[in-house]
Structure 1
Amino acid sequence: MASNNAHVKSDGPIDPDSHGQETLRDDNGPEDVYDDASAAPAQQKKPSRFGFAAITAKLGLNAGVLIPMIKGSLPPIIGIAMCQSQPVAEYFTTLGYLIPIISVLGLAMLPRGKFLQNLVLNVFAICFGSAVAMLALWSSIKARENTTPAGESLIDPATGTVRYNSSQSAVLAVWLFANIWFVNVLRAKFPAFAVPVILYSILVNVASTFGTRMPTVVYAEKFIQELITAMLTGLALATGVSLVIVPISSRMVVFKEFAGSIGLLRQAMGLQKKYLVGLEELDMFAVVTHQATMDARAAEKKKKKSKKAKEAGWEPDKQPSMTKEAAIAKELKAAIAQVREMAGKIQADIAFAKRDVAWGKLDAKDLGEIAKLLRNATIPVVGISSIMDIFNRVAERRGWNVDADEEPEIVAQKDREKRVWNEVMKRMHMPFEILSQAVDQGLEHAAMRLEILPKPKADKKAPKDADIEAKGDSIKPGDDGFSDVIRQKLEQFAATKGEALRTWVKERAVVRGYNGLSSAETRERDQAQLYCLLYMERLMHASGEAMLDLVVFADKKVEDGTMSRNRLIFPTQRRLRKWLVSIFREEDSSAEQSPDVLETGISVVYVGDGYNRKKDPEHLPPTSAWQRAGNVLRKVSAFFASEECAFGFRVAAATMTIGIIAFLESTQAFFVAQRLVWAMIMIAIGMTMTSGQSIFGFFCRVGGTVIAMVCSLIVWYIVNEKTPGVIVFLWFSIFCDFYFLIKFPRFTPAVMITIVTQCLIIGYELQVRKLGPQAAASSGQPVFPTYKLAPYRLATVAAGCFVAFIWTVFPSPLTDRTWLRRDLSAALYLLANYYGVITSTVKSQIEGTAGNPDLPHSPAHELQKIRRKIFGKMMLLLPSMTAHAAWQKWEPTIGGRFPREAYEDIITRTTRIMSYLTFMSYTMNHPPTAHLDAFRARREAAAASVSTPAKQQQPRHPSESSSSSAQEATPITTTDGPSDRDWLESLAQVLREISPSHHNITSTLMLLSNSLFSGHSMPPFLPLPRPYEMTRALLRLDRRVDPAAAAAAVSPSEEEEADLSPLMVVNSRTGHAVDEPRGGRRRSGAEGSAGLGGLGLGLMDREHVLDPANVEKPGYAEFAVLEICSTLVCDDLEGLIRSISGLVGVVDFSYRVDRSEGSLGSGGEAGGKGKID
């Protein structure tokens, strides 16, 4: 049984090296991780690099790795040792070697939840496979009986074996082909059946190939009984080891991941603090630019060359080392990547932890709430790190990342903006210091209260009735009342965060006094700086509130007695039913909802097509029973035309390529003697859908078999063929093999083949020794010594892998490059849906029509469900794209070179857009506690206008959720009033105005997805919303409602009218706006602008809604986040247009005349063919 004290136990087969164990070991927090090594005492003895501790640390041999290695290596050794018993050997005869092999495939090292799921599916596969195999053998024997002449003997007198019967062989061949096809279709459609399909294939292959020599039904029944008993015995050994020897529950794994996630968040906050401190004196527009990144890569390459040069004997030129700030930025990026990876692991493992039976304190609902609160804390922390990307965009837009000599006025402009940001960062130092300390201590406190992290030993012995007030400032994380300390620090942060804004206002007034800056240029820079500043402050504030929600939840669990005692925790029937359904469910790509679900009271909510099933362009929805029956028939036809069905056919054809040898009279004896059944099994294990993965798997499996052959020879002969020594050395070899399986999961096929082949070779030799050569050869397989058997196994495995590779690429391969393109197309399609849902969510919340998200049938609740569904699909799709991008490197290039750089750029930009949209969604769905009343009032006012008072939405009670309780408990400021509602009304009116232009983002993403999927060329120009379009709309709105401003306004020029247009046109060939010059640097000032620095705004009054005096208004900070994220999304969309147009081409039939050469050329700016491809 599992306990919640998971921090003292193993975390299963996952690699814990990069997930914060070193980070969590120091009570001083992440600050100490990066202390200078020179601070250590000089007299301290330096540890040896070759000592036992140093070697184990280098190899990562901790409890989290050693325990799975032991658990994985024990079942096959127990199986081999058990077969040395005479009764066991006599019962299983020549099938005893299957016991250790099946025990390896049982994967005893998995956590309990995953293991039990595999166990249920494995047992089902073996039992169902045995029944089907028995049916196949029975029908084949009946075919033999019906085709054998009366009185003919079953035994051939010449050979002393069962006579060959073509009918029996043909029936078994048909059964084998059908079985292999069916189970591999199942494997391709449902990934959870990967291991069960391997076991099923082993059983069916062995039964079908050996069944050609079975004369009677009684003989077949005995054979199937021995076969199923051997396989179930192997699973029983794996089950006993998994559940009895150092049991590891899925809850332990999740608790370890919780601890790792908290440690990484604390580390990331510490690194972000150091990074922001570095920006106080640093040129932030130079360190984080693309050019600096390329310089760092070049320096790394030169460093490697210099190392080789030193080894060659000559001294190279010394290269400058990486600056401290650049090193911190690199560490921060690595930490954020680890935070994302850990969040993905928690998302994947939390479902198994909820289904676990355990002896603990926190139930499944509590685990889900902790995972949600940690995810809420992760998003703003990751969002803060995006400030590096923002500075990078500013530098690229203004041409500040170019190494060429800059003009003096550009240098002066850059220095002025650098000065502003340096001063702002100095003022942000103290608030972020307070916030980082509060977040660090709050996470530690919550982890201790929930027993994710252990308390110090002194605190464990503290009496429960200790006087908290007497401790004073000595209250530490984990103590009662420490949450009040966290609240005080957050209030202190809220009080000091405005200092940076006041500094910015002061510096802005100073910089405005410089000559040479037009009012338009000043306004565009000011608004961009204000939004960036508010963006950082909003995410900082959100990270503090997310941490406080976790602290409140932890204290609540302590107060209600949940953490006071352990109890037996069972999964509910509903959860088990959902688990069973999830195994066989194939989700639709669209958000599926029924319109009448959203109808409440007399207010009818009309929903769009995004809530319904994906439509069929060739068929209308069925309206009669006959049409619905026709749809069922079409589904059957679609199934046989699917890629999964084609994959099953390929595997079946590859299996029969070798299996046909067993069903022909002249080659049947050769098949049995040379043990070619294992070549067929290798096909079942090694066949993959894509060619790149197949090539990689081919080399892995052949290489693993070579290693297994060498290890088997060493194990067998190093102890002079003594059985006890052979078993011991075989265990040690398998034990070492599992290290590579755990530490390098990419090479899982090679490691599994290595282990299975060793068990096969050594197990068979020990079986021959126990049964005797005559009994061992009774199956028709001659006895070989080990030095001959090992190469035979290598040859059969290589043959099977080679046949699998051939049938993967023949008659036409499904390449990883094609799959990558499809995944990218699907990702862009999901992003379009995600942006549409977020836009609808923002609009409904600002207008107050969303309703209470806690009510199951409210629009806000349904939008939340769809957002989470799309987000979950994206989280599954992003690793798939990364995997296929790695596999495609193994595919041979036939013809032109694969545009790897373009696809990597698309993957990077797609991932970034997903992050920006996530920040937008999080910001709008988690408003500051001080602004909840204004949003709630807005929602109630909108509800009152469309429904009866009885149907009005009621505010959530503080006890309904941890977030609500935290919000009610910590009101930092109160800004509810008529002016707040006026601001929200203005913002709602703006959203209504710009909604058509913002739908162009969705349209562009859809168009890019379709072009990438179909390969069709893109249109020459695409419309995108101008950056900061909501800002312009607010300005236009203000001019209409303010007569004085309208009277003072002058007629705009053509350039200003173009800049006030809600859309900008992007050239598909270049990926830049059409008003952008070729140099890549946008026009500034009155010449027109776009991007982070491009704001062509009208005159700004002090009483304007966008004035910095209004930053405390509800929705202003969220408005700034939306503007920043929308601008970043549009920037990446321009890059996507440029990359994808380079892949699929542009519909362009323009031409130009090159008079200097007297030739007629086609193409626009770049020349080329009419259709650029």
Structure 2
Amino acid sequence: MPDAVDSSSEERQKRPEGARPEVSSERSETLRNRSVSKIDDEPAKPEQKPGILAKMGLDVPTISMMFKGSLPPIICISIYQANAISSIAPTLGYLMPIISVLSLAILPRGKYMQNLLLNTMMACIGAAIAMLVLWSAVQARAHTSNLADVPAVVQATGRPPYNSSQSAVCGVWLFANIWFVNVLRAKMPSFNLPVILYSIMVNVSATFGTIMVTTAQAEAFVKQLLTIVLMGIAFATGVSFFIFPVSSRMVVTGEMKGLLGLFRKAVMLQKEYLQGLEREDMFALELTETAAGPKFKQQKKNKKRKGKDGHDDEELVLTKEAKSAQALRETISQIRELAGKLHGDMKFAKRDTAWGKLAAHDLGEIFGLMRKILIPITGLSTIMDIFKRVADTRGWNNADPDTPVEVLAAKEKEQRVWNEVMRQLHEPFDILSQAIDQGLEHAGIVLEFLPRPKEQQKAAAQTSDGSQPDVEAQGDDVRPGQPDFVKVMDEKVRLFHSKRGEILGTWAREKGLTYDGDLKNIDPGCNLFNDSRERDQAQLYVILYMEQLMQATGEAVQDLVEFADSKVADGTMKKKRLIFPNKRRMKKWLMSIFKDEDSTAEETPDVLERGANVVFMGDGFGKKKDPEHLPANSAWQHFGNGLRQVSRFFGSEESAFGFRVACATMTVGIVAFLEQTQDFFIKQRLVWAMIIIAIGMTQTSGQSIFGFFCRVGGTLLAMILSFIIWYIVDEKLPGVIVILWLFLFLSYYFFIKFPRFIPGIMICIVTQVLIIGYELQVKTIGIAAAAQSGQPYYPTYELAPYRLATVAGGCLVAFFWTIFPSPLTDRTWIRRDLSAVMYLLANYFSVINETMKAMINETGGDIEVKDSPANRLRRIRQKLFGKLTLLLPSLQAHAGFQKFEPDIGGKFPRAAYEEIILRSTRIMNYLTLMSYTLTWRPRADQESPNNEWLRALKEVLNNISPTHHTILSTLTLISNSLQSGQSLPPFLPLPKPYELTKQLLKVGDGAHISSASSMVGGKPGEGPVHILDARNAQQRGYTEFAVIQVCGTLAIADIEGLVAAVKSLVGVVDFSFRVDTSESSVESMGDDSQFTEDGKGKGKVD
């Protein structure tokens, strides 16, 4: 079943954002018999079209960052024109602006501080290693040649004689260094940019080390190189700290502000969607009247697009329900994306030094409260999936003229039940949505994420001046931002809670269970569960599911409002103060850099590789018992295990990647170490090709192909721009600097707005700086001084094409060694990560099931007490959820890169993998909702806890078979099949929806279960009622049980889809045979291609 149906945003554009749709009170009986109707909503005034700057996204923050990013290289190039600076490193000055670009001054302060620390550390280590390389190379020359003859050769040829030992030493050092640092880079993504700086220093030192004669020359060279690198970092640091400074706290508060706005928008859209379900024709197709007759809306925009397999890619028309759900799905997707980004940025904000009001623990508390709001709000969006499944199953959106009248009447009756329930839900949810919207606004105002209204600003100014505020102007209503608003919020949430029983009463009345809608007045002799009792029970669960999520959202916003008011009460929001991170937080951060635990793109500010999230799965995944070795018992055996760890390290994927990069580097570097080509290498500046390899080498072939085209295209553009920069101002120094700044300024617009193309944009910026920086360097020190390094001077019209050729050559070599001798494709990466996702989902579900057992058995203890079972289970759930939220976006990134991999042989089953990713994401959302429901308790339950129903459920569950084992085994088998590529076993048992409910319903009819254990909540004199009876719906635990059943059913439906998709990828093992008497042969029932020639008949069905 598709998760969403594409639709246009025509109706959303007609309605201003935040506007509430009108709900007509007239309900015509004829509308119930129509499957297709005409929309009669009055068109709203069209919104004003945004201007050009708004369409381009050129707001003040973006322009500020563009200006900030363009400053460091311009400052470096400009300051190098001074003799005092150019005399420090006459021939290496062009590296200073390049290093300033790679330092990424536009990063928020927290991220930049991490980069600054690692860049400085790796630059110093690189200088030390470079000195060691050059010293050992000089010693190799000294021990294998006569140094007395060198001056004569230098005077005659301009360079020292070739020495094979010196070149070999440099080559060995270069290979070893490149291999080791790239193993580090693959193991710890936070070292990506520092490793690039280190690689630049080692590449330059090792290739120029072949012409070093004395240790003094080596020391002077390393000193110049280190000084230039540190100066580039220093200028970038100055710009980052003093030019439009952006702290990580500013980024986080901006994201929190955006998240509050999306919450408010989602609640309004959710209200609009639910109110639309009140209409009898909500699942009917939309049409409009035209001169040619009735015509379906969206028919023009949503034309049938035939896929490559001949099937329709999307539906021709949309039901009104699907059309209303489209905007809500888009908003929920934006919420999840922004929440994921906020999760990564929080760590930097907490350890940032800032001048502000909220401490680090306050930010963490706010984020935790927002996460409690996020889960039920995103959970409400699953109502769309529920009604989509119901409509498809019941045929509400299928207008077949041949349908019998009896079937139509049954459909109409069931649909009317939902319509009446939604009408009854209208007023309570309207009250609650208003409270949620105002509560979010109040929290944003009090915490200073949102500006105060002008009236409140004026009143605050009057109060500070000692004058009395205008009470009449304020009115009687308490508005968001005012001190007593929390009372208004509490009153509205309590009002919604008091009306929950009315909604259940409406359902009972429509079902004919009671005449007045009161659950207590249900006729004792009424059979609540007749032939359709499972369907009725599912309806009851969905109603309780909606109520519970609405209640949870309201109370979560209540908690945020109360926290915001508490910060005002304790004086936190009164004045700003200097905030420092504590020692524990800094220690934790430093240790996290060097660990191979989970990391994200936000935690590792790496702009050159997108989506390379690293997740540590734990000992249960990938680590299997060794069938050839028993556990070590003696010291010698433990020593042997240590030796095996060494071989395992050299055979790891990280080591293989480092070896590939080292081979790619030496493919170009070998030219510098051979006598016949050494002079060519230096003159043609092939060291830049080696630097491009260090920058552009990636672990997967899809990223490599994409990066190859991006970098070559960026260099081509940089070459053209360099011609313009240099010649449009007739090579005049002031004009060149101004035009270079202008193009860098414009380049950073694409850097900020199109992060997907950052590899190409970065190379474009660096190449412009490299070409123009070198030409200005020559202008400053002169052609003769520039040629002292052995590199002849080239004018711009020759230098720029040479740079393009070296970049293209470096990219081509990097691409070759990415796919040779065997490629690690993004497609393989996707399959491996999907296997990890299945394992984590199984683990997540298992922990949730244990949490449910602890709740029912009352063995969890206080969740706030450290090391209690409930607290430990919560930590495990949060850890698993964090791993899943890292892996799933990474899968999307690799799914995008695999498009650039050529199909060699059959085509890649992209649709199957995308379906698996989509269903895995939905299963994670359902499990998260189950986890939240189990651990969240409404305030009313906390005031008067009653566990009678839970105790009765515990007794019943002890007498029925567990239902979660099938889910765990299915997810585990899928994980193993995706990891190994082996076929799934035959006759795989699939979990069934509402299996636990069905078993409980059967238990009620059995004679072996005593009524005392399975019946609760009966009225005096009537005897006990069934444990799942609607009269128990308001007992503590019943609603939670209903939510778990609904979420479990949705998850099971997606697990079935997962199994079908994985079967299409790996097949199913088939051991069946048939005897063909006509051919007098025995053949396998499976694929003939799988039947072995020796007649053993083992095969699989694909």
Counterpart position of 1:368: 364
For the structure 1 residues 450 and 128, does the alpha-carbon distance in structure 2 shift closer, same or farther, using more than 3 Å as the test?
same
Q: Does the alignment pair 1:341 with 2:337?
A: yes
SS in 2 for 1:1147: strand
Counterpart position of 1:479: 482
Residues 435-456 of structure 1 show CA distances to partners (whole Å, capped at 9, x for unaligned) of 1111110011011111111112
* Shift, 1:564, TM fit: 1.0
Counterpart position of 1:509: 512
How far apart, CA to CA, are the structure 2 residues paired with 1:37 and 1:357? 54
Question: Counterparts in 2 of 1:114-193, with a 5 A limit?
Answer: 114-149=111-146, 151-156=148-153, 157-193=155-191
Counterpart position of 1:1002: 968
Counterpart position of 1:351: 347
How far apart, CA to CA, are the structure 2 residues paired with 1:393 and 1:434? 28
How far apart, CA to CA, are the structure 2 residues paired with 1:1131 and 1:986? 29
Counterpart position of 1:815: 825
SS in 2 for 1:1171: strand
Q: Does the alignment pair 1:499 with 2:509?
A: no
How far apart, CA to CA, are the structure 1 residues paired with 2:142 and 2:475? 93
Contact 2:303-2:316 within 8 A present in 1 as well? no
Aligned equivalent of 2:19, options 15, 21, 31: 31
Q: Does the alignment pair 1:781 with 2:791?
A: yes
* Shift, 1:377, TM fit: 0.1
Aligned equivalent of 2:727, options 689, 711, 717: 717
What letter corresponds to residue 362 of structure 1 in structure 2?
L
Aligned equivalent of 2:55, options 55, 58, 74: 58
Residues 882-904 of structure 1 show CA distances to partners (whole Å, capped at 9, x for unaligned) of 01111111100111111111111
What letter corresponds to residue 497 of structure 1 in structure 2?
R
How far apart, CA to CA, are the structure 1 residues paired with 2:696 and 2:137? 29
Counterpart position of 1:378: 374
* Shift, 1:110, TM fit: 0.3
For the structure 1 residues 898 and 610, does the alpha-carbon distance in structure 2 shift closer, same or farther, using more than 3 Å as the test?
closer
How far apart, CA to CA, are the structure 1 residues paired with 2:884 and 2:228? 42
Counterpart position of 1:1171: 1100
Residues 43-92 of structure 1 show CA distances to partners (whole Å, capped at 9, x for unaligned) of xxx97x7xxx8111010011231121111110000011111112212222
For the structure 1 residues 990 and 1164, does the alpha-carbon distance in structure 2 shift closer, same or farther, using more than 3 Å as the test?
farther
Aligned equivalent of 2:691, options 650, 675, 681: 681
How far apart, CA to CA, are the structure 2 residues paired with 1:726 and 1:994? 82
How far apart, CA to CA, are the structure 2 residues paired with 1:1165 and 1:680? 50
Contact 1:269-1:436 within 8 A present in 2 as well? yes
What letter corresponds to residue 178 of structure 1 in structure 2?
A
Contact 2:702-2:825 within 8 A present in 1 as well? yes
What letter corresponds to residue 149 of structure 1 in structure 2?
N
Question: Counterparts in 2 of 1:591-740, with a 5 A limit?
Answer: 616-618=625-627, 622-740=632-750
Counterpart position of 1:277: 275
For the structure 1 residues 403 and 724, does the alpha-carbon distance in structure 2 shift closer, same or farther, using more than 3 Å as the test?
farther
What letter corresponds to residue 769 of structure 1 in structure 2?
K
Counterpart position of 1:1082: none
Greater mean deviation of Cα atoms: 1149-1158 or 762-771: 1149-1158
SS in 2 for 1:1131: helix
Q: Please tell me the root mean square deviation across aligned C-alpha atoms, in Å.
A: 3.4
How far apart, CA to CA, are the structure 2 residues paired with 1:394 and 1:835? 25
Contact 2:283-2:397 within 8 A present in 1 as well? yes
What letter corresponds to residue 488 of structure 1 in structure 2?
E
Counterpart position of 1:922: 932
Greater mean deviation of Cα atoms: 1105-1114 or 167-176: 1105-1114
* Shift, 1:803, TM fit: 0.3
TM-score by length of 1: 0.81
Contact 2:830-2:895 within 8 A present in 1 as well? yes
SS in 2 for 1:856: coil
Counterpart position of 2:325: 329
How far apart, CA to CA, are the structure 1 residues paired with 2:351 and 2:590? 11
Q: Does the alignment pair 1:222 with 2:220?
A: yes
What letter corresponds to residue 363 of structure 2 in structure 1?
L
Contact 2:621-2:836 within 8 A present in 1 as well? no
What letter corresponds to residue 1101 of structure 2 in structure 1?
I
* Shift, 1:1129, TM fit: 1.4
Counterpart position of 1:446: 443
* Shift, 1:637, TM fit: 2.0
How far apart, CA to CA, are the structure 2 residues paired with 1:239 and 1:926? 46
Greater mean deviation of Cα atoms: 76-85 or 279-288: 279-288
SS in 2 for 1:30: coil
* Shift, 1:1043, TM fit: 7.8
Greater mean deviation of Cα atoms: 865-874 or 1027-1036: 1027-1036
Residues 451-509 of structure 1 show CA distances to partners (whole Å, capped at 9, x for unaligned) of 11111233123245979998663211011010100001101111223322211111111
SS in 2 for 1:474: coil
How far apart, CA to CA, are the structure 1 residues paired with 2:711 and 2:297? 37
Counterpart position of 1:901: 911
* Shift, 1:634, TM fit: 2.7
* Shift, 1:1038, TM fit: 3.7
How far apart, CA to CA, are the structure 1 residues paired with 2:171 and 2:708? 26
* Shift, 1:1034, TM fit: 3.0
Q: Does the alignment pair 1:1137 with 2:1066?
A: no
Q: Does the alignment pair 1:429 with 2:395?
A: no
How far apart, CA to CA, are the structure 2 residues paired with 1:404 and 1:186? 64
For the structure 1 residues 1043 and 373, does the alpha-carbon distance in structure 2 shift closer, same or farther, using more than 3 Å as the test?
closer
Contact 1:691-1:808 within 8 A present in 2 as well? yes
How far apart, CA to CA, are the structure 1 residues paired with 2:446 and 2:624? 50
Counterpart position of 1:1081: none
Q: Does the alignment pair 1:86 with 2:86?
A: no
How far apart, CA to CA, are the structure 2 residues paired with 1:325 and 1:234? 58
Greater mean deviation of Cα atoms: 210-219 or 1140-1149: 1140-1149
Q: Does the alignment pair 1:741 with 2:729?
A: no
Contact 2:838-2:972 within 8 A present in 1 as well? yes
Question: Counterparts in 2 of 1:386-465, with a 5 A limit?
Answer: 386-398=382-394, 407-408=403-404, 409-463=406-460
What letter corresponds to residue 1010 of structure 1 in structure 2?
N
Question: Counterparts in 2 of 1:734-1133, with a 5 A limit?
Answer: 734-932=744-942, 974=944, 976=945, 980-993=946-959, 996-1039=962-1005, 1103-1133=1025-1055
How far apart, CA to CA, are the structure 1 residues paired with 2:972 and 2:119? 42
Contact 2:278-2:422 within 8 A present in 1 as well? yes
* Shift, 1:587, TM fit: 2.8
SS in 1 for 2:947: helix
Q: Does the alignment pair 1:1147 with 2:1083?
A: no
SS in 1 for 2:974: helix
Contact 1:103-1:237 within 8 A present in 2 as well? yes
Contact 1:468-1:475 within 8 A present in 2 as well? no
How far apart, CA to CA, are the structure 2 residues paired with 1:297 and 1:843? 49
Q: Does the alignment pair 1:490 with 2:472?
A: no
- Unpaired runs of 5+ residues, structure 2, are 1-11, 24-40, 287-295, 307-314, 516-526, 600-617, 1016-1021, 1092-1098
For the structure 1 residues 612 and 687, does the alpha-carbon distance in structure 2 shift closer, same or farther, using more than 3 Å as the test?
closer
Counterpart position of 1:302: 303
For the structure 1 residues 787 and 1136, does the alpha-carbon distance in structure 2 shift closer, same or farther, using more than 3 Å as the test?
same
What letter corresponds to residue 274 of structure 1 in structure 2?
E
How far apart, CA to CA, are the structure 1 residues paired with 2:178 and 2:652? 17
* Shift, 1:623, TM fit: 4.7
Greater mean deviation of Cα atoms: 1144-1153 or 701-710: 1144-1153
What letter corresponds to residue 501 of structure 2 in structure 1?
G
Counterpart position of 2:550: 540
Counterpart position of 2:8: none
Residues 848-888 of structure 1 show CA distances to partners (whole Å, capped at 9, x for unaligned) of 10111111111111111111111111111011110111111
Contact 1:106-1:119 within 8 A present in 2 as well? yes
* Shift, 1:1027, TM fit: 2.0
Percent identical pairs in the alignment equals 57
For the structure 1 residues 682 and 447, does the alpha-carbon distance in structure 2 shift closer, same or farther, using more than 3 Å as the test?
same
How far apart, CA to CA, are the structure 1 residues paired with 2:863 and 2:970? 30
